[in-house]
Chains A and B, each alone.
Chain A
Amino acid sequence: EPEVTQTPSHQVTQMGQEVILRCVPISNHLYFYWYRQILGQKVEFLVSFYNNEISEKSEIFDDQFSVERPDGSNFTLKIRSTKLEDSAMYFCASSEWREDEQYFGPGTRLTVT
């Protein structure tokens, strides 16, 4: 069964450093998403991406964040200058159409020290 994959599974970085989180969505899916979950809290939407552009973004998704689909398979989330409060689990998700169920990847645990 097709699945969303994410790399790395765990990333440790120092405050102020740039990080890139990678995702490979399910191949025939058209909509891609990033969510984050701070430990012990609920899952929060960051951004959605369709047709090579951002379709929705939340207040969390400020100028420090960017997304890209550099080729036909990868979908990346970049954080330019990490802060301690960026420490969280970051989930990538994809869906075939906007109203369809979203399939989540296993997540990348980001630890900012």
Chain B
Amino acid sequence: AQTVTQSQPEMSVQEAETVTLSCTYDTSENNYYLFWYKQPPSRQMILVIRQEAYKQQNATENRFSVNFQKAAKSFSLKISDSQLGDTAMYFCAFMEGSQGNLIFGKGTKLSVKP
């Protein structure tokens, strides 16, 4: 069974600094997708970024980028120029290509300090 591990329960960063959140996963599949979701205090789940496993190029969305290391089964999220509004729980999620269900990690609580 696939598993997703986020080893950092909590992190903090100063406003305008850069922070990296870690995620590792375990799968024997070759066709899969990886996601980062953000959950602010309102508890709404918001998609941050998506990566297809067959793509070597790391996904980027404005201040958010990933470091996808397929051989190491690692998928970290880098947030540049951190803003107060980035304060949230961040969940890493895995989806096997032949199925639609997301498997989530336990999350990392990120606090951005002024």
Q: Which residues of A contact B (CB under 8 A)?
A: 31, 33, 35, 37, 41-45, 48, 50, 55-56, 58, 89, 91, 93, 95, 98-99, 101-104, 106-107
Residue on B nearest A97 in the bound complex, by CB: B100
Residue on A nearest B95 in the bound complex, by CB: A99
B104 at the interface (CB under 8 A from A): yes
B21 to chain A, nearest CB (A): 15
Residues of B within 8 A of A98 (CB): 99-100
- In the bound complex, CA of A91 to CA of B47 (Å): 14
- In the bound complex, CA of A13 to CA of B71 (Å): 48
Residue on B nearest A89 in the bound complex, by CB: B43
A13 to chain B, nearest CB (A): 19
B47 to chain A, nearest CB (A): 5
Size class of the B contact interface (CB-based, 8 Å): 20 to 34
Q: Which of A31, A42, A103 interacts with B100 by CB under 8 Å?
A: A31
Residues of A within 8 A of B47 (CB): 101-104
Between A and B, 26 residue pairs with Cβ closer than 8 Å are A33-B100, A33-B101, A35-B102, A37-B43, A42-B105, A42-B106, A42-B107, A43-B45, A43-B91, A43-B104, A48-B99, A48-B100, A48-B101, A50-B100, A55-B100, A56-B99, A89-B43, A91-B45, A95-B100, A99-B33, A99-B97, A101-B35, A104-B44, A104-B46, A106-B42, A106-B43
B78 at the interface (CB under 8 A from A): no
Residues of B within 8 A of A43 (CB): 45, 91, 93, 102, 104
